[in-house]
């Protein structure tokens, strides 16, 4: 068993860390205030190859795996979680399913444009009545000759404001219920009738775009079907395995930023004539944060390794997502406590980390959904 990153993985990590330190940390507060991401960041991400990190080289991507994506996302999210989730969704929830399930024609048409960042990808699964019960989608796709007509509204769509291509899950067979009768469609947002609805005002990751996506009589050709008709739900669940590794990586990155900030502040802040780092109460907090973060990091890398090696990673991804998101919030809480009243102000970025961490226990499968996934695997 080898716990060392490969040379390539280390290079990706160092590149991502350098970019986060130089470009993301200085802009993260403004992203939060403006509730958007500086457009220049997207250009830089594309130039570094991070928008096409897991897309094959034959399509203009870097041709790397989930492990490289995980280490990159950890570093990006330590700098700015709004940017981190944008890159995660683009790679794991759109680039990945096209790579795995797409036809040669679909790959040729979409992957090169995703790899260069010409198009930003979005994943449209959640609906007002289909959240944790993802199989209850009601957005419809009705066949009309060789085409399909899509009608419905998706909510909480990450990257919605910037999306050029969406993976949209629709009910195509109303005679069956739940997971059966769902089909995945690749829908360009240039399609007539496809519009961006309300933009959510969020507690955290405010720089990322979270919107409604509205589809009114959107006509797409038969070639827009990803995979097979009425077999889209298995694509959704398989894709979420990769997505959960991405969000677990985000959680570790936010947690690491909390630990780093805590170590720095504890060494600088003096009370009772000495740095607060000299007090055992603070030392124990730092020790617990570090130990739990390292355990979360190892769970993430195990899940990424399994997925890269073609092994079933559903349980491992759920365990990584569950544990890392809980620990991220633990670290954010301890970090705020160490900073005291100062941490509750916007003089430090601690309060933003505290807000950003909270979403990791909610999206791409809430904490209790991960527990259901894990227990079902244990009991099956």
Is the Cβ–Cβ distance between 172 and 166 less than 8 Å? no
Cα torsion at 279, 260, 322, 74 (round to 10°)? Answer: -170
Q: Residue 177, class by beta-carbon neighbours within 10 Å (0-12 exposed, 13-18 middle, 19+ buried)?
A: exposed
- Annotated catalytic residue, options 23, 74, 351, 364: 364
Q: Is 200 a catalytic residue?
A: no
Residue 225: name the closest of 193, 167, 184, 179 by CA: 184
Strands of the chain (E only): list them: 120-124, 140-144, 147-158, 163-171, 182-188, 194-199, 210-221, 225-226, 270-271, 274-275
Bin 273: left if φ > 0, else alpha if -120 < ψ < 50, else beta. left
Token pair 């992957």: residue: 111
Residues 6+ apart with CB under 8 A from 129: 136, 138
Assign 3-state DSSP to the chain and report helix, strand, coil percentages, each to 5.
55, 15, 25
- Just list the catalytic residues: 364
């Amino acid at each position: 068993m080898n716990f060392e990153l490969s040379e390539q993985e280390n290079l990706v990590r160092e590149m991502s860390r350098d970019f986060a330190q130089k470009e993301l940390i200085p802009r993260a507060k403004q992203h939060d205030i403006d509730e958007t991401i500086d457009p220049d960041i997207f250009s830089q991400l594309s130039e570094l190859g991070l928008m096409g990190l897991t897309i094959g080289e034959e399509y203009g991507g870097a041709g790397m795996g989930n492990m490289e994506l995980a280490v990159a996302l950890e570093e990006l999210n330590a700098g700015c979680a709004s940017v981190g989730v944008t890159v995660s969704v683009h790679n794991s929830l759109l680039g990945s399913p096209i790579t795995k399930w797409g036809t040669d024609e679909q790959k040729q048409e979409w992957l090169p444009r995703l790899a260069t960042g010409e198009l930003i990808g979005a994943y449209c699964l959640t609906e007002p009545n289909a959240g944790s019960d993802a199989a209850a989608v009601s957005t419809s796709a009705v066949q009309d000759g060789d085409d399909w007509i899509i009608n419905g509204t998706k909510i909480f769509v990450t990257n919605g404001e910037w999306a050029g291509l969406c993976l949209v899950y629709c009910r195509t067979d109303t005679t069956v219920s739940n997971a059966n009768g769902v089909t995945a469609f690749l829908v360009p947002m240039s399609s007539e009738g496809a519009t961006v609805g309300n933009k959510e005002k969020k507690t955290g990751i405010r720089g990322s775009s979270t919107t409604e996506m509205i589809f009114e009589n959107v006509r797409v050709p038969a070639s827009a079907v990803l995979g097979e008709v009425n077999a889209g739900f298995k694509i959704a669940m398989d894709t979420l395995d990769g997505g959960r590794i991405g969000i677990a990586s985000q959680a570790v990155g936010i947690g690491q930023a909390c630990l780093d900030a805590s170590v720095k502040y504890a060494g600088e802040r003096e009370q009772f004539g000495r740095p607060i780092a000299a007090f055992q109460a603070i030392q124990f907090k730092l020790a617990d944060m570090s130990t739990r973060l390292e355990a979360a990091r190892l769970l993430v890398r195990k899940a990424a390794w399994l997925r890269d090696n073609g092994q079933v990673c559903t349980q491992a991804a759920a365990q990584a997502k569950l544990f890392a998101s809980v620990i991220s919030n633990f670290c954010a809480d301890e970090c705020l406590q160490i900073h005291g009243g100062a941490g509750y102000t916007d003089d430090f970025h601690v309060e933003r980390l505290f807000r950003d961490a909270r979403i990791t226990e909610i999206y791409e499968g809430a904490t209790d959904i991960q527990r259901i996934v894990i227990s079902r695997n244990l009991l099956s």
